[in-house]
Structure 1
Amino acid sequence: MAATIAKKKVVFIMGSTGTGKTKLSINLGTKFESEIINSDKIQVYKGLDIVVNKIPESERCGIPHHLLDIIDDYDYTFTSEDFCNHALSAIDLIHQNGHLPIIVGGSNNYLQALVENPNNAFRSKYDCCFIWLHVSLPILFQYLDKRVDEMVDAGFVDEIREAYVPGASYSNGLRRAIGVAEFDEYMKVEKESYDEVYKEKMLQDAIRRTKENTFKLAEVQFQKIHRLNYELGWGMNIIDSTQVFEAILRGEKYMDLYKEIIFKPSMNIVQKFVEEPNQETP
């Protein structure tokens, strides 16, 4: 009789940009013995922390993070194959530590490559729990509009200015981050002898383009996740977070709502998942 091997468990937190994936991963990480694996293709690079909305180390609650700040070369393209190799190594290490891997990020092509590529045999080795944080796109767009403004106030433009290299390609590496290419024209005129009214117009145009491309990214990510769930059958646990974001946009206190609508259901999903007997594969 062939020996069977128990599958090890992996949690995925998915969703469009701005839907609160990182916040939930930290919240769950404080309740379960876990470590977090970043699956955002831009956050693997060092730098542009505000631009890419990277969680500061001070807010990680001591939870180990993997695949954050691991690439120094701005021009290196971190491929799906690179991600799979690093993620599989991190998953094995986390299990060796006796912890639960939580994979979080918006680069869904990476996740599809990890889970669906037959060379990885992922499904035969790991028992997966997928949580999809969903926010109605019209509400999410309003929130993202507000978030970009807040990022600008926090130093977004200063980070882009420090990383700006005239003539650099925006198709590779860290410079693919939304906001970098959008600010190219503004960076060209900023220190020239144009009048301040013109410079301000260029700045506002750059911010507008950044917002528009962020909205486009969120929609593409939604469509991708929808396909993974409904066409490829990933069986996601969908958490509709729209009410929470509506409260945020109204300027209301939202943490009680967050706990009831997002955190508690997600915690129950993961609790049930980790308590289930491990599946076995021949």
Structure 2
Amino acid sequence: MVEKQKLIVIIGPTAVGKTKLSVELAQRFNGEVISGDSMQIYRGLDIGTAKITTEEMDGVPHHLIDIKDPKESFNAAEFQELASNVIRTIAQRGNIPIIAGGTGLYIQSLLYQYEFSEAVSDQEFRQEWEQLAQNMGEEYVHNRLSEIDPESASRIHPNNTRRVIRALEIFHLTGVTMTDTLKAQTMQSRYDFILIGLDMNRDLLYERINKRVDLMIEQGLINEVMELYNQGIRDVQSIQAIGYKEIYEYLDGKCTLDVAVEKLKQNSRRYAKRQLTWFRNKMNVNWFDMSNVQDFEKKVSEISYFIEGKLHLKSNT
């Protein structure tokens, strides 16, 4: 019997500390980090996606960051293929792949090798619903998905019109919802993986999210978004990301900067809540409470010890 590739996966809501932990674990287990974030793959979307800096990497190789132009699309099927290839190359070097991210469907599709049928498409149907989204609003299209497939609707943000329409399209063509399509797929994994989930007291998490947004503004988020805006980049997947759509509304003159920043904080908090709901309902996660931020090193040691026991790995410390 072929031994499965060992894989460490770190998940959790935005601003909980996944990036920092992934670097610490990579240093302890001779690991390399693969981003499981659907927006950090875009070049030029740095501050708003809280992309790791070279300094923060601390010498640890990182993958699937800055590989796409903001005008390009990206989906779970493409992530699955790219991440699978990176995992193989990391393993060939004798290192341990570590996935770190918060995009639930991307990580689940990789772990369980979902089969994506991109052949199933109806361009006319897509265009019709894209037009409805323009005329009636994104909420109208999202409400239609809520009627057909409430589980997918709770997972897909109303602003992500492309994915909302894709879920509608799957039902239109197959008569089966996206939720049921995913449930029908095997839950056997080709990997020997451990899922480490990070959580913390909700009030503390929301406070961290608000402070992170304030820091993003200080670091130059407005100028970062303005560069994309001035290039004429709009109506593409990357600009649907939280942190970009809100500032675009400000630049379009639809709201004040203060309102845009408050919306950004609110949308980030809601996203964190959806992430936690997804992971708790969909995956068998080993949860660790990160509320005591002063005790980070102790928590890293606790998680490392847990990984050693589950994956039979030996750490460097």
TM-score normalised by length of structure 1: 0.81
Q: Which residue of 2 aligns with 1:93?
A: 89
Preserved contact between residue 43 and residue 68 of structure 2 (Cα < 8 Å): yes
Q: Within 1, Cα distance between the matches of 2:253 and 2:271?
A: 27
Secondary structure of residue in 1 paired with 2:90: helix
Q: Which residue of 2 aligns with 1:156?
A: 221
Q: Which residue of 1 aligns with 2:257?
A: 203
Paired AA for residue 16 in structure 1: P
Q: Within 2, Cα distance between the matches of 1:35 and 1:68?
A: 13
Q: Which has the higher helix share?
A: 2
Greater Cα offset, 158-167 or 44-53: 158-167
Superposed, 1:102-141 pairs within 5 Å as 102-119=98-115, 123-141=188-206
Deviation string, structure 1 residues 113-147 (Cα, Å, up to 9, x no partner): 11234549784421011100011222211111111
Secondary structure of residue in 1 paired with 2:194: strand
2:220 is the alignment partner of 1:223 = no
Superposed, 1:60-79 pairs within 5 Å as 60-72=57-69, 74-79=70-75
Secondary structure of residue in 1 paired with 2:207: helix
Q: Within 2, Cα distance between the matches of 1:166 and 1:45?
A: 15
2:310 is the alignment partner of 1:273 = yes
TM-score normalised by length of structure 2: 0.72
Paired AA for residue 241 in structure 2: A
Cα distance, 1:210 vs. partner?
A: 0.4
Preserved contact between residue 111 and residue 189 of structure 2 (Cα < 8 Å): no
Return 5+ residue gaps in structure 1 as ranges. Answer: 191-200, 245-253, 278-282
Deviation string, structure 1 residues 159-202 (Cα, Å, up to 9, x no partner): 111111587544x3321221211112321349xxxxxxxxxx81
Cα distance, 1:6 vs. partner?
A: 1.0
Preserved contact between residue 250 and residue 256 of structure 2 (Cα < 8 Å): yes
Q: Within 1, Cα distance between the matches of 2:190 and 2:243?
A: 39
* CA RMSD, 1 decimal: 2.2
Secondary structure of residue in 1 paired with 2:71: coil
Cα distance, 1:259 vs. partner?
A: 1.5
Number of residues of Structure 1 aligned to a counterpart in Structure 2: 245
Cα distance, 1:155 vs. partner?
A: 0.8
Task: Report % sequence identity.
Answer: 32
Secondary structure of residue in 2 paired with 1:160: helix
Secondary structure of residue in 2 paired with 1:242: coil
Deviation string, structure 1 residues 48-94 (Cα, Å, up to 9, x no partner): 2111100112221211111111112x122211000000010011111
Greater Cα offset, 174-183 or 109-118: 109-118
Paired AA for residue 115 in structure 1: L
Q: Which residue of 2 aligns with 1:214?
A: 268
Q: Which residue of 2 aligns with 1:146?
A: 211
Return 5+ residue gaps in structure 2 as ranges. Answer: 117-185
Superposed, 1:158-173 pairs within 5 Å as 158-165=223-230, 168-170=233-235, 172-173=236-237
Cα distance, 1:274 vs. partner?
A: 3.8
2:175 is the alignment partner of 1:179 = no
Preserved contact between residue 26 and residue 63 of structure 1 (Cα < 8 Å): yes
Paired AA for residue 174 in structure 1: S
Quickly say closer, same or farther: Cα 1:41–1:124, change in 2 above 3 A. closer
Q: Which residue of 2 aligns with 1:54?
A: 51
Preserved contact between residue 30 and residue 61 of structure 1 (Cα < 8 Å): no
| Corresponding residue to 1:259 among 285, 291, 297 | 297
